[in-house]
Amino acid sequence: MTKHKVEICGVDTSKLPVLKNEEMRELFKQMQAGNITAREELVNGNLRLVLSVIQRFNNRGEYGDDLFQVGCIGLMKSIDNFDLGHNVKFSTYAVPMIIGEIRRYLRDNNPIRVSRSLRDTAYKALQVRERLISKTSKEPTAMEIAEEMDVDHSDIVFAMDAIQDPVSLFEPIYNDGGDPIYVMDQLSDDKDKDSLWVDKLSLKEGMYQLNERENTILNKRFFQGKTQMEVAEEIGISQAQVSRLEKGAIDQMNKEMFE
């Protein structure tokens, strides 16, 4: 079978070497003893790892060459900091570092500019969130994160919302097998008062079919204009649960309204 030649940053990916664990350990020992050539072999022998990671970001609209170069920076950092004494596979250690490097690149090149102080608050909050999850084995609320950081609750909510990826107007939000409904289909001109009150009337009618919690979530989200994090804080569940319940409620309403 003929291998397809795929080049990225001038590298023929079909010819990239793959190192065995024994070879990796020996090269790490040589590198840590000062052998520069061993480091180069470790980089070249793990480029396939970078390729596998950047495939997760294919839908971000970024050039593959750019992501590959950034991923290589993460790979080199992981090689330089890897400790053989930790008895863990190199790939297990390297993948999170490569992903982290790519995410920082995407964050810093986001077309929607967010102030440095706001980003710092948000990413500190994410670190605190991970620490609290490890400690309590449950999703912390925004209030708990704020208390841990000793900052105002509203600052955490605002910062976390600010770093969320923008949503395309052509993002499909519902599809029953026919024409999908996009985000832009849900937007309207506030001047169109007749259309506005009819839409709200239809929405309220559909909400009668929901249970109490789903009704509360949609009311707070779409009539009171609150964020998912604010709703999660108010009703005492995680943002992920709010998102899941909100989506399920909207799907149910769509079925009731359009069948």
pLDDT, tens only, 29-39: 999 888 889 99
What is the band of 149 on the pLDDT scale with cuts at 50, 70, 90? very high
Compute CA 95 distance to the chain's CA centroid, rounded to the nearest angstrom: 15
Residues 6+ apart with CB under 8 A from 196: 188, 190
Domains of the chain with CATH codes: 7-108 (1.20.120.1810), 116-162 (1.10.10.10), 172-258 (1.10.10.10)
Read off the pTM: 0.42
Buried b (16+ CB within 10 A) or exposed e, 75-98: bbebbeebeeeeeeebbeebbebb
Q: For 220-240, what is the mean pLDDT?
A: 84
- Residue pair 68/51 in contact (Cβ under 8 Å)? The answer is yes
Give the model's confidence band at 62: pLDDT under 50 very low, under 70 low, under 90 confident, else very high: low
Q: Is 122's pLDDT higher than 80?
A: yes
Mean pLDDT over the full length of the chain: 76
For residue 198, the model assigns a pLDDT of 42
State both tokens at 1.
């079978």
- Give burial (CB, 10 Å; 0-12/13-18/19+) of 228: buried
Contact 70, 51 (CB under 8 A): no
**pLDDT tens digit sequence for 4-15:** 444 555 556 667
Question: Residue 30: its pLDDT value, please?
Answer: 92
SS3 172: strand
Confidence of residue 76 (pLDDT cuts 50, 70, 90): very high
Closest CA relative to residue 43, chosen from 84, 88, 6, 90: 90
| Whether 59 contacts 92, CB under 8 Å | no
Q: Could you tell me the two tokens for 171?
A: 């993002």
Share of residues in the chain with pLDDT > 70 (%):
68
